[in-house]
């Protein structure tokens, strides 16, 4: 059995470690490229959303490397992810691409099924398998930690691209790491290198929160490298979605002491219940980011993504109440780079002016107060 799985950002490092940990031979699909997208688009229904298409491309490319089994996430609730796996299975069969599919549904609904499937895949004594899974978890945390450093440094580094180079190397090393000690060493080394990078002096850095559907947020092929683009424009990106947090929220049911999204607390009154996908979290996170002083929020979603459309429809209210501009970007295989770049630049310009004006107003207000004229202008 040679297993493969779909790409989503650097999730592959985590999945590879976990699956190898339980004794499986793993084929990591080639990195997502235009070719992946083209392969997927060719065989998927046109109206399917983008993640389905890219996943399909991943499977076809992994097949070329000899994979014969797919590990795929399923889902419940009003989002199409629930039947992705089934649709993909049919498409693959139609084009004569032989694959076995092991689909994991969320554990709260089908817990015994999950155990069944793990038992089916597992090739090692339980303790050893568990060790591999723990290692994968540690890697997820290490990667997410380093990525946050990258998000902080991108707008501040004087030579764009250097912090990403450090991160990419650490990513490769982490993929190969075999022990907790090694992971720690790699993280420390990367941190040290990041600390020596030359920085801009006196650049105004804006802060933008990214919310949206998890796949479009985490996969740079699909979002056209939005975080890098924003970094170059002088923006520090923050987001609530990280692989480690997603695992914690979804698989460990938030047992670990990590900051988790808590849409039930943050999203109302704008949106009072689960709407599928990450729609509820998108609204909740937008509110959180507004409260924590972000200058703006960008919502990302694949074109036609239903949960995000619901979230989108309440964003004007969030914008109004939170005083934070929200821009929604729908992405699909037709999204042009020039159009995306124009929107990002304009959004950043706008936030920059707003920040400047608010500052001027505040100082004008303070002066007015001193002069006994009263606050504000």
Partner 1 sequence: MKAVYLGIDVGSVSTNVVALDEQGKVLHTVYLRTKGQPIQAIQEGLRQLLTALGKDLKVKGVGTTGSGRSLAAVMVGADVVKNEITAHAVAANFAVPGVQTVIEIGGQDSKIIILRHGIVTDFAMNTVCAAGTGSFLDQQAARLGIPIEDFGRRALEARSPVRIAGRCAVFAESDMIHKQQQGHPIEDIIAGLCEALVRNYLNNVGKGKEILPPVVFQGGVAANAGMRRAFNRALGTEVIVPEHYGVMGAFGAALLAKDMGLRESAFRGFNLTEMEFKTGGFECQGCANHCEVVELREGSRLLARWGDRCGKWSNAVAV
Binding site for partner 1 (CB under 8 A): 30-31, 33-36, 161, 225, 316, 325, 330, 338-339, 341-343, 345-347, 349-350, 353-354, 357
Smallest separation (angstroms) from partner 1 to the CB of 247: 29
**Residue closer to partner 1 (CB basis): 338 or 371:** 338
Burial level of 313, CB count in 10 A (0-12/13-18/19+)?
middle
Which of 358, 150, 349 lies closest to 236, judged by CA?
Answer: 150
Structure tokens at 71: 């590990």
Residue pair 102/114 in contact (Cβ under 8 Å)? The answer is: no
> Least distance (Å) from partner 1 to the CB of residue 62?
13
CA-to-CA distance for 199 and 255, rounded, in angstroms?
A: 38
CB of 161 to partner 1, least distance (A): 6
Smaller CB separation from partner 1, 198 or 339 = 339
Work out how close the CB of 215 gets to partner 1 at its nearest, in angstroms, rounded to a whole number.
19
From the CB of 45, what's the least distance to partner 1, in Å? 18
Pick between residue 19 and residue 286 the one whose CB is nearest to partner 1: 286
Closer residue to partner 1 in complex, CB, 321/346: 346
* Contacting residues for 183 by C-beta, under 8 A, at least 6 apart: 135, 138, 139, 142, 174, 177
C-beta closer to partner 1: residue 34 or 185: 34
Measured from the CB atom, the residue of 22 and 39 that comes closer to partner 1 is 39
Q: Residue 335 has which token pair?
A: 């999204």
CB of 250 to partner 1, least distance (A): 31
Cα–Cα distance between 161 and 168 in angstroms, integer?
11
Q: How far apart are CA 149 and CA 147, in angstroms?
A: 5
Nearer to partner 1, 142 or 230 (CB): 230
Q: CA 288, 291, 297, 303: dihedral to nearest 10 degrees?
A: 30
- Residue with Cβ nearer partner 1 (116 or 345): 345
The answer to whether 51 and 43 are in contact (CB under 8 A) is: no
Compute the least distance from the CB of residue 160 to partner 1, in Å: 8
Q: In this structure, are residues 375 and 369 in contact, taking their beta carbons and an 8 Å threshold? A: yes
Alpha helix ranges (H) inside the chain:
11-21, 34-43, 50-64, 81-94, 111-121, 126-153, 162-176, 180-195, 214-218, 226-232, 243-250, 263-266, 279-291, 306-322, 337-370
Least distance from C-beta 357 to partner 1, angstroms?
A: 6
- Retrieve residue 325's tokens: 């501009």
């Amino acid at each position: 059995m040679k297993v493969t799985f779909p790409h989503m950002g650097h999730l592959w490092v985590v999945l590879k470690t976990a699956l190898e940990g339980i004794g499986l031979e793993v084929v990591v699909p080639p990195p997502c490229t235009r070719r992946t997208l083209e392969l997927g688009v060719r065989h998927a229904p046109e109206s399917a959303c983008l993640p389905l298409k890219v996943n399909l491309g991943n499977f076809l490319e992994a097949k070329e490397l000899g994979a014969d089994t797919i590990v795929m996430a399923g889902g419940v609730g009003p989002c199409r992810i629930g039947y992705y796996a089934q649709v993909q299975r049919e498409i693959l069969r139609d084009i004569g691409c032989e694959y076995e599919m092991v689909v994991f549904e969320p554990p709260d609904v089908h817990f015994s099924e999950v155990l069944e499937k793990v038992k089916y895949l597992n090739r090692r004594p339980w303790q050893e398998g568990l060790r591999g899974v723990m290692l994968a978890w540690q890697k997820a945390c290490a990667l997410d930690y380093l990525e946050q450093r990258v998000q902080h440094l991108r707008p501040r580094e004087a030579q764009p691209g250097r912090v990403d180079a450090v991160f990419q190397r650490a990513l490769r090393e982490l993929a190969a790491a075999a022990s907790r000690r090694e992971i720690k060493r790699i993280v420390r080394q990367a941190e040290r290198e990041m600390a020596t990078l030359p920085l801009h002096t006196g650049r105004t850095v804006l802060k933008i929160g990214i919310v949206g559907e998890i796949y479009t947020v985490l996969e740079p092929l699909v979002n056209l490298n939005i975080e890098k683009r924003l970094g170059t424009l002088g923006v520090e990106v923050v987001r609530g979605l990280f692989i480690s947090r997603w695992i914690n929220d979804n698989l460990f049911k938030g047992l670990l002491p990590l900051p988790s999204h808590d849409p039930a607390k943050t999203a109302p009154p704008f949106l009072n219940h689960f709407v599928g996908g990450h729609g509820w979290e998108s609204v909740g996170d937008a509110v959180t980011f507004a409260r924590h002083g972000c200058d703006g929020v960008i919502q990302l979603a694949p074109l036609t993504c239903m949960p995000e459309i619901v979230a989108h429809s309440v964003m004007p209210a969030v914008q109004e109440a939170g005083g934070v501009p929200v821009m929604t970007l729908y992405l699909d295989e037709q999204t042009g780079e020039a159009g995306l770049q124009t929107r990002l630049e304009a959004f950043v310009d706008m936030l920059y002016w707003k920040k400047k004006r608010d500052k001027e107003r505040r100082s004008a207000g303070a002066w007015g107060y001193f002069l006994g004229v009263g606050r504000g202008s």
